[in-house]
Homo-oligomer: A and B are copies of this chain.
Amino acid sequence: MLLSIDFESEIPIYQQIKNQIIKGIATGQLSPGESLPSVRQLGADIGVNFHTINKVYTQLKQEGWVVVHRRQGVMVNPELNMETTQDYMNLLESNLEIIAAQAYLRGISKEKFIQIIDEKFSKFIKKGSE
Protein backbone atom coordinates (compact mmCIF):
# COMPACT_ATOMS: atom_id res chain seq x y z
CA MET A 1 0.00 0.00 0.00
CA LEU A 2 1.28 3.40 -0.94
CA LEU A 3 1.36 6.25 1.53
CA SER A 4 1.64 9.83 0.37
CA ILE A 5 2.57 12.57 2.80
CA ASP A 6 1.97 16.28 2.29
CA PHE A 7 4.73 17.97 4.26
CA GLU A 8 3.07 21.35 3.79
CA SER A 9 -0.29 20.29 5.13
CA GLU A 10 -1.60 21.63 8.41
CA ILE A 11 -2.43 18.07 9.37
CA PRO A 12 0.44 16.54 11.38
CA ILE A 13 2.40 13.88 9.56
CA TYR A 14 1.59 11.19 12.09
CA GLN A 15 -2.11 11.98 11.65
CA GLN A 16 -1.88 11.73 7.88
CA ILE A 17 -0.26 8.31 8.15
CA LYS A 18 -2.82 7.10 10.67
CA ASN A 19 -5.66 8.26 8.46
CA GLN A 20 -4.29 6.50 5.42
CA ILE A 21 -3.75 3.26 7.26
CA ILE A 22 -7.29 3.31 8.63
CA LYS A 23 -8.65 4.13 5.17
CA GLY A 24 -6.54 1.26 3.82
CA ILE A 25 -8.14 -1.14 6.26
CA ALA A 26 -11.64 0.06 5.42
CA THR A 27 -11.11 -0.23 1.68
CA GLY A 28 -9.43 -3.61 1.91
CA GLN A 29 -6.01 -2.45 0.74
CA LEU A 30 -4.83 -3.72 4.10
CA SER A 31 -6.32 -7.02 5.23
CA PRO A 32 -6.76 -8.15 8.84
CA GLY A 33 -3.63 -10.02 9.86
CA GLU A 34 -1.49 -8.37 7.19
CA SER A 35 1.95 -7.28 8.36
CA LEU A 36 2.97 -3.65 8.32
CA PRO A 37 6.57 -2.52 7.65
CA SER A 38 8.89 -1.91 10.56
CA VAL A 39 9.08 1.65 11.90
CA ARG A 40 12.51 2.14 10.35
CA GLN A 41 11.50 0.59 7.06
CA LEU A 42 8.35 2.65 6.67
CA GLY A 43 10.13 5.77 7.86
CA ALA A 44 12.83 5.33 5.23
CA ASP A 45 10.25 4.56 2.53
CA ILE A 46 8.24 7.72 2.95
CA GLY A 47 11.00 9.97 4.22
CA VAL A 48 9.78 10.44 7.76
CA ASN A 49 11.58 10.20 11.08
CA PHE A 50 11.08 6.74 12.56
CA HIS A 51 10.00 8.27 15.86
CA THR A 52 6.99 9.57 13.99
CA ILE A 53 6.15 6.11 12.69
CA ASN A 54 6.59 4.80 16.19
CA LYS A 55 3.99 7.25 17.42
CA VAL A 56 1.62 6.15 14.66
CA TYR A 57 1.91 2.46 15.52
CA THR A 58 1.60 3.13 19.23
CA GLN A 59 -1.61 5.05 18.76
CA LEU A 60 -3.03 2.57 16.26
CA LYS A 61 -2.36 -0.17 18.79
CA GLN A 62 -3.99 1.74 21.63
CA GLU A 63 -7.04 2.31 19.49
CA GLY A 64 -7.19 -1.34 18.53
CA TRP A 65 -6.48 -1.10 14.79
CA VAL A 66 -3.26 -3.09 14.92
CA VAL A 67 -1.65 -5.65 17.19
CA VAL A 68 2.04 -6.06 17.93
CA HIS A 69 3.51 -9.53 17.81
CA ARG A 70 6.89 -10.14 19.30
CA ARG A 71 8.14 -11.78 16.12
CA GLN A 72 6.12 -10.62 13.16
CA GLY A 73 6.11 -7.01 14.25
CA VAL A 74 3.03 -4.88 13.68
CA MET A 75 0.03 -6.33 11.83
CA VAL A 76 -3.52 -5.26 11.17
CA ASN A 77 -5.72 -6.56 13.96
CA PRO A 78 -7.03 -9.94 12.71
CA GLU A 79 -10.18 -9.56 14.79
CA LEU A 80 -11.44 -6.09 14.07
CA ASN A 81 -14.51 -5.81 16.19
CA MET A 82 -14.42 -2.27 17.47
CA GLU A 83 -17.13 -1.32 19.88
CA THR A 84 -19.15 1.79 19.12
CA THR A 85 -18.85 3.53 22.45
CA GLN A 86 -21.02 6.46 23.41
CA ASP A 87 -17.87 8.60 23.50
CA TYR A 88 -17.19 7.75 19.92
CA MET A 89 -20.75 8.47 18.83
CA ASN A 90 -20.59 11.88 20.51
CA LEU A 91 -17.33 12.64 18.76
CA LEU A 92 -18.72 11.50 15.42
CA GLU A 93 -21.85 13.59 15.77
CA SER A 94 -19.88 16.61 16.84
CA ASN A 95 -17.50 16.30 13.89
CA LEU A 96 -20.31 15.79 11.42
CA GLU A 97 -22.23 18.71 12.82
CA ILE A 98 -19.57 21.32 12.14
CA ILE A 99 -18.67 19.82 8.76
CA ALA A 100 -22.30 19.73 7.70
CA ALA A 101 -22.91 23.29 8.92
CA GLN A 102 -20.04 24.63 6.87
CA ALA A 103 -21.02 22.63 3.81
CA TYR A 104 -24.61 23.84 4.12
CA LEU A 105 -23.56 27.48 4.42
CA ARG A 106 -21.35 27.07 1.38
CA GLY A 107 -24.34 26.05 -0.63
CA ILE A 108 -23.95 22.28 -0.66
CA SER A 109 -27.33 20.59 -0.51
CA LYS A 110 -28.15 17.67 1.72
CA GLU A 111 -28.55 15.53 -1.37
CA LYS A 112 -25.09 16.42 -2.65
CA PHE A 113 -23.65 15.79 0.79
CA ILE A 114 -25.26 12.37 1.05
CA GLN A 115 -24.11 11.56 -2.44
CA ILE A 116 -20.51 12.13 -1.36
CA ILE A 117 -21.03 9.88 1.65
CA ASP A 118 -22.51 7.26 -0.62
CA GLU A 119 -19.44 7.30 -2.84
CA LYS A 120 -17.13 6.91 0.13
CA PHE A 121 -19.03 3.97 1.56
CA SER A 122 -19.16 2.25 -1.82
CA LYS A 123 -15.38 1.95 -1.68
CA PHE A 124 -15.39 0.02 1.57
CA ILE A 125 -15.17 -3.74 1.52
CA LYS A 126 -18.24 -5.78 2.30
CA LYS A 127 -17.84 -7.26 5.74
CA GLY A 128 -18.07 -10.98 6.03
CA SER A 129 -17.87 -11.48 2.28
CA GLU A 130 -14.14 -11.25 2.28
Contact = CB atoms under 8 A, between A and B. Distances in A.
Do most interface residues of chain A lie in helix, strand or loop, or is the interface mixed? Answer: helix
Q: How large is the interface on A (under 10, 10 to 19, 20 to 34, 35 or more residues)?
A: 35 or more
Contact of A7 (B26, B71, B103, B106): B71
Contacts of A84: 106-108
Interface in A94-130: 95-108, 110, 113-114, 116-118, 120-121, 124
Contact of A27 (B19, B67, B88, B101): B101
A116 B96 contact: yes
B93 A116 contact: yes
What is the oligomeric copy number?
4
Contacts of A13: 70
A22 B102 contact: yes
Given A22-B101, A84-B106, A96-B99, 9 more contacts: A7-B70, A8-B70, A23-B97, A25-B101, A84-B108, A100-B120, A100-B124, A104-B121, A117-B117
